[in-house]
């Protein structure tokens, strides 16, 4: 296994962290592996409503374009908990399909015991959520598990991990999902629908609505955009193959690929081998520059082979460009009509739909399908306040739950 390195505590919590609950807002702890830029509006809203402690395990090595978040969260307590990030590789047929990090962060325990939250939100079904549920069970506090996985993303789970998922479904009483496909997975796992707040991934949509100059002026038009990591999982190789077939059949267009990843050099070489023309590789851009990236293109293709949602789809829709979306993106059925969805592994279908998109026959998805950050924030705060009010009135009845037996 690839060696791993410990993650040290980034900063100490303020000394006033142990003030009594009666002297301050309700204490809320949010446990996450890292802090993605698109979640900042949610964290900011929670910090305005609650005394928020945001605990994370540190930015992962393959997220180099994610910029600092501290200035965006002036009202939150943010701490990097001590622990480890263990790099792992998902392989398919002997080839590296994806790079992931397993976060084992014992520091969460120390921070929770010191902060003594009235409620906890924890992301995913792993170590940190076990810590959160154990705390909630012992101290009789409500705990929500944020879940993003889909039936497709979880289809090849090891039997042990399936058993762990089932234990979580019996232990946790409150869930938050990012869309229909993640809700579907929980329902199949046996979670009751009334225990789930179905939300969406939402971010700062205002940045993408305003008019900005394009990052690059590229000819010939139309410009077909891909945004994301350059790894096997994202289906970029299949995009290059489909684009090469269309160019060989006389289609004229440019291809703009924005991102970093271990497959970048191999993909650049593949583009040359296929004889692709007008292909432009650009490095990953910080979040504040992304509106200009989308303004550089006429349409976006999202050919992922496995994504629990796909925030880039939101960004493209908000930027006003059509999106051709893989059926393996969790957001696909919620954000797009059937004609905008395709199977990237079906070469004939991919080529046919990409040709329609290049010829201007792909319609722009309705932005109303996307929940705004204000909607998502309001729904989550209402859910937290509802359960906390019931918890206060009924004692332990809405606590985390009992240990599965």
Give the orientation angle of helix 159-171 with respect to helix 180-189, to 10 degrees.
Answer: 90
- Establish whether domains 5-202+372-394 and 207-368 are of one fold: yes
Each residue's pLDDT tens digit, 347-356: 999 999 999 9
- Segments of the chain with pLDDT less than 50: 1-22, 65, 397-399, 401-405
- Tell me the two tokens of residue 147: 């879940």
Domain at 5-202+372-394, CATH from 3.40.50.300, 3.40.1440.10, 3.40.50.2000, 1.10.3720.10: 3.40.50.2000
Long-range Cβ contact pairs of 17-24 (< 8 A, separation 24 or more): 17/53, 17/77, 17/114, 17/115, 18/114, 18/115, 18/116, 21/118, 24/51
> How many angstroms separate the CA atoms of 155 and 184, rounded?
13
CATH 1.10.3720.10 fits 207-368, yes or no: no
pLDDT value for 301:
98
Q: How many C-beta neighbours within 10 Å does residue 377 have?
A: 21
Pairing of strands 95-104, 83-92: antiparallel
Each residue's pLDDT tens digit, 184-204: 999 999 999 999 999 998 878
> How many angstroms separate the CA atoms of 205 and 325, rounded?
20
pLDDT value for 361:
94
pLDDT value for 400:
52
pLDDT value for 91:
55
pLDDT value for 206:
86
Domain boundary assignment for the chain: 5-202+372-394, 207-368
pLDDT value for 9:
38
């Amino acid at each position: 296994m690839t060696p791993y390195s410990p993650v040290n505590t980034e900063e100490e919590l303020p000394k006033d962290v142990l003030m009594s609950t009666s002297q301050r807002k309700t204490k809320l702890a949010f446990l996450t592996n890292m802090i993605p830029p698109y979640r900042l509006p949610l964290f900011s809203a929670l910090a305005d409503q609650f005394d928020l402690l945001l605990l994370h395990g540190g930015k992962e090595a393959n997220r180099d374009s994610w910029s600092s978040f501290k200035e965006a969260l002036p009202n939150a307590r943010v701490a990097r908990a001590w622990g480890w990030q263990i790099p792992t590789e998902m392989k398919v047929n002997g080839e590296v399909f994806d790079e992931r990090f397993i976060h084992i962060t014992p520091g969460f325990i120390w921070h929770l015991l010191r902060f003594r939250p009235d409620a906890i939100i924890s992301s995913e079904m792993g170590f940190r959520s076990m810590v959160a549920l154990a705390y909630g069970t012992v101290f009789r506090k409500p705990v929500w598990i944020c879940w993003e996985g889909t039936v497709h993303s979880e289809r090849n789970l090891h039997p042990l991990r399936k058993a762990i998922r089932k234990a979580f479904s019996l232990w946790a009483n409150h869930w938050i999902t990012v869309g229909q496909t993640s809700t579907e997975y929980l329902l199949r796992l046996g979670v009751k629908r009334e225990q789930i707040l179905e939300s969406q991934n939402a971010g700062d949509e205002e940045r993408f609505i305003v008019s900005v100059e394009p990052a690059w002026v590229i000819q010939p038009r139309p410009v077909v955009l891909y945004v994301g990591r350059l790894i096997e999982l994202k289906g970029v190789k299949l995009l290059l193959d489909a684009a090469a077939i269309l160019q060989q059949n006389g289609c004229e267009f440019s291809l703009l690929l924005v991102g970093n990843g271990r497959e970048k050099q191999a993909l650049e070489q593949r583009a040359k081998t296929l004889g692709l023309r007008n292909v432009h590789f650009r490095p990953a851009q910080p979040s504040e520059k992304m509106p200009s990236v989308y303004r550089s293109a006429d349409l976006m293709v999202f050919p992922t082979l496995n994504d629990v949602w796909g925030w880039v789809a939101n960004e493209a829709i908000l930027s006003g460009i059509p999106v051709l979306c893989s059926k393996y993106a969790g957001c696909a059925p919620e954000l797009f009509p059937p004609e905008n969805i395709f199977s990237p592994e079906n070469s004939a279908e991919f080529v046919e739909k990409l040709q329609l998109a290049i010829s201007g026959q792909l319609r722009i998805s309705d932005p109303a399908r996307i929940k705004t950050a204000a909607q998502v924030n309001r729904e989550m705060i209402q859910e937290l306040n509802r359960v906390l009010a019931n918890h206060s009135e009924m004692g332990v009845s809405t606590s985390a739950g009992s240990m599965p037996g």
